[in-house]
C-alpha cells in the first residue's frame, strides 16, 4: 500500500481547506454532477431503477477499535472502509459509495491524515466505490471516525439475517480466527516493547495472520460467485464478532436453532499452529474472537452441489428447529450450547 493520496501541498489552513484538499484527491464520476457533497451524500438513482438503496454506518474510536501503536494509518483507512462495505455485502448488495467523518486531535498532521485517507482511496479504486462525503472535526480524545457505506440491491435479491429455514445448510466464507490471532500477536509485542523499549518485534513468520487483522478484504467475490452459480441464500450476515455471535444473530432473527460442527470450522494451519504455541484453543477464537469479516449464510439443501463449486466456502453446520437450540457439536460428539458475549444476559 504505497500509493500516495495525491500531490503534496502546503498545509491547508482551517477545517474546510483541509476537507477540500482531501476531496480533490478522489476521482468520482465523469458526469461532473455526482461529486463529493459538502454536507451529506447525495445519491441519485438511475431513471426507472427499481433497486433498493442500502446504507451502513460504523464508528471507530482510537484505543477501543484500533491501537495506533502498531496499526499503520493507511491500513486503518482501508480496514474501516472494508468493514463498512461488508454490511452492504451481507444484504447481497453492491457497494457504491462511502462517507467519512473524522474527529482528530492536534497531534495528527496533514501528512498523517493523507496517509489515513490514502488507504481509503486505494480501497475505493480497487472496489470501484466512490467517496461521497468527507469532513474533519476537532477531537480531544485522539482519532475517531464515522464511516458510512452506501449500496443497492434488487428487492427480490435482498438478504437479511431473517430467512433461515429448518434443514438449511450453514456456510461461511474464508477462514476463521486468523485476524484475532494477528491481534493477539500485536498486543503481545506491544507489551514486550513497553517492558523493554530496546526489544525487537518477533513477527517475521506471522505475515498471514497480521494481514488478516490489519487489512481484511470484503468478500465481494463470494457475492459474485453465488450469483454466477445461481445460489440464492435464505439468510446472511457478517462474521464480525466471532462465528457464534453471527450464527446466533441469524437463528434469533429466523426463530430457528442450529448445530455447528467443530471439525468443519475452517481454520488456517498457520493460525492453528500459532494459537497452539500461545496455548489457546483455536475453536474458542473461531467462535468468539472476531475481526474476521467473512460472510455467514444459509442455503437450501438442493444447492449443495452448486455451493461445492464456489472456492473458499465451507459448510459448517445445518439449521434445526427452534426448540433444539443453537449448539456446537465437538470433535468428540458432545453438544455444547453456543454462547457469545454480545448475547450475555
Reported as a single tens digit per residue, the pLDDT across 181-233 is 999 999 999 999 999 988 888 888 999 999 999 999 999 999 999 999 999 99
Q: How far apart are CA 232 and CA 164, in angstroms?
A: 12
Q: CB neighbours of 251 closer than 8 A, spacing ≥ 6? A: 164, 257, 258, 319, 322, 326
What is the torsional sign of CA 281, 169, 297, 226?
A: positive
Confidence band of 27 (pLDDT split at 50, 70, 90): low
Q: How far apart are CA 34 and CA 40, in angstroms?
A: 12
Give the CATH H-level superfamily of domain 169-343.
PurM-like C-terminal domain (3.90.650.10)
Confidence band of 322 (pLDDT split at 50, 70, 90): very high
pLDDT reported for residue 88: 94
Q: How far apart are CA 256 and CA 262, in angstroms?
A: 20
CATH assignment, 15-157: 3.30.1330.10
Average pLDDT of the residues in 20-37? 60
- CA Rg, the chain, in Å? 21
**Residue extents of the structural domains in the chain:** 15-157, 169-343
Q: How far apart are CA 211 and CA 132, in angstroms?
A: 27
DSSP 8-state assignment for residue 255: T
Per the model's pLDDT, the better-predicted residue between 5 and 275 turns out to be 275
- What is the distance between the terminal CA atoms of the chain, rounded to a whole angstrom? 42
Whether residue 327 contacts residue 336, with contact meaning beta carbons closer than 8 Å, is answered with yes
Residue 37, beta-bridge partner list = 133
Confidence band of 22 (pLDDT split at 50, 70, 90): confident
DSSP 8-state assignment for residue 263: G
Give the closest residue to 71 by CA, choosing from 240, 215, 214, 218. 214
Amino acid at each position: 500500500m504505497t500509493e500516495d493520496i495525491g500531490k503534496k501541498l502546503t498545509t491547508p489552513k482551517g477545517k474546510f481547506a483541509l476537507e477540500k484538499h482531501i476531496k480533490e484527491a478522489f476521482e468520482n464520476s465523469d458526469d461532473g454532477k455526482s461529486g463529493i457533497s459538502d454536507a451529506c451524500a447525495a445519491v441519485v438513482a438511475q431513471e426507472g431503477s427499481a433497486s433498493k438503496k442500502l446504507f451502513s454506518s460504523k464508528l471507530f474510536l482510537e484505543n477501543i477499535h484500533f491501537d495506533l501503536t502498531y496499526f499503520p494509518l493507511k491500513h486503518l483507512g482501508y480496514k474501516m472502509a472494508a468493514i463498512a462495505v461488508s454490511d452492504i455485502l451481507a444484504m447481497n448488495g453492491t457497494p457504491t459509495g462511502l462517507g467519512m467523518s473524522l474527529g482528530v486531535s492536534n497531534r495528527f498532521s496533514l501528512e498523517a491524515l493523507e496517509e489515513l485517507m490514502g488507504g481509503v482511496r486505494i480501497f475505493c479504486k480497487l472496489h470501484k466505490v466512490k467517496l461521497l462525503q468527507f469532513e474533519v472535526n476537532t477531537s480531544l480524545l485522539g482519532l475517531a471516525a464515522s464511516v458510512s457505506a452506501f449500496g443497492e440491491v434488487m428487492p427480490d435479491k435482498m438478504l437479511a439475517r431473517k430467512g433461515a429455514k429448518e434443514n438449511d445448510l450453514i456456510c461461511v466464507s474464508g477462514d476463521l480466527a486468523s485476524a484475532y490471532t494477528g491481534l493477539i500477536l500485536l498486543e503481545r509485542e506491544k507489551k514486550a516493547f513497553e517492558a523493554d523499549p530496546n526489544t525487537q518485534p518477533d513477527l517475521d513468520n506471522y505475515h498471514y495472520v497480521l494481514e488478516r487483522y490489519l487489512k481484511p478484504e470484503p468478500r465481494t467475490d463470494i457475492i459474485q460467485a453465488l450469483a454466477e452459480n445461481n445460489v440464492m441464500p435464505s439468510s446472511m450476515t457478517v462474521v464480525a464478532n466471532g462465528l457464534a455471535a453471527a450464527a446466533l444473530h441469524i437463528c434469533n432473527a429466523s426463530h430457528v436453532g442450529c448445530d455447528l460442527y467443530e471439525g468443519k470450522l475452517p481454520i488456517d494451519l498457520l493460525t492453528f499452529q500459532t494459537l497452539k504455541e500461545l496455548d489457546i484453543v483455536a475453536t474458542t477464537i473461531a467462535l468468539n474472537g472476531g475481526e474476521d469479516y467473512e460472510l455467514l449464510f444459509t442455503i437450501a439443501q438442493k444447492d449443495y452441489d452448486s455451493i461445492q463449486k464456489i472456492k473458499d466456502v465451507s459448510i459448517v453446520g445445518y439449521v434445526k428447529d427452534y426448540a433444539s437450540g443453537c449448539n456446537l457439536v465437538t470433535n468428540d460428539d458432545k453438544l455444547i450450547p453456543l454462547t457469545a458475549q454480545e448475547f450475555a444476559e
